[in-house]
Amino acid sequence: MRTKIAIGLLGVAAVLASTGMVRAQTATPGPKVQLPSGEAVWDLNGDWEAQIENYGTAARFGSYPNVYRITLTGAAVSAVRAKDDPPLTKEATELGHSPWGRAGSPSLQGELEKNGFKHVEVVYGSGGRVLPSQGHISEDGKKLVIDNGLYIRVTLTRP
């Protein structure tokens, strides 16, 4: 009799433990804000960990991390670098490329709509070159991927 009770209790404990693990793994969506138009959009305000990946013809500039500080004003999104980008490689300097972006310089700009980005641009380097891009916001609002489709991809995650 004791064996059956012990096995039953272990079974109930296993079910409860697995249910708790499933709940713990479910991501809590990020917050949303309501625009004057009535649309609810992701609240992207704050510091985001950024991974900048140069590829294609810009691959020689490599990949590196930064922190982007995003501000949402109505539907308008803007971001600045919280830290300097790393220095240019010797090869890039010899080719006459301008220095990377400095802390406080613009890094992203765009506009949100109900289903994500209406439009978004990467602001490249300190020269302020604006690159029209495609942007994607994850289902939980905690990851952004912005890619110009030619040579730069920025992946942002909430810390």
Residue 72 token pair: 């949402």
How far, in Å, CA of 55 to CA of 75, rounded? 30
| pTM to 2 decimal places | 0.76
Residue whose token pair is 């793994």: 25
C-alpha 23 chain-centroid distance: 24
Domains of the chain: 32-157 (2.40.128.120)
Cα torsion for 83, 87, 88, 91, to the nearest 10°? -160
Pairing of strands 40-42, 116-124: unpaired
**Looking at residue 159, what is its pLDDT?**
82
Give yes or no for a contact between 142 and 134, defined as CB atoms under 8 angstroms apart.
no
What band does 148 get if pLDDT is binned at 50, 70 and 90? very high
Mean of all residue pLDDT scores within the chain: 82
Residue 132 token pair: 């029209």
**Looking at residue 39, what is its pLDDT?**
87
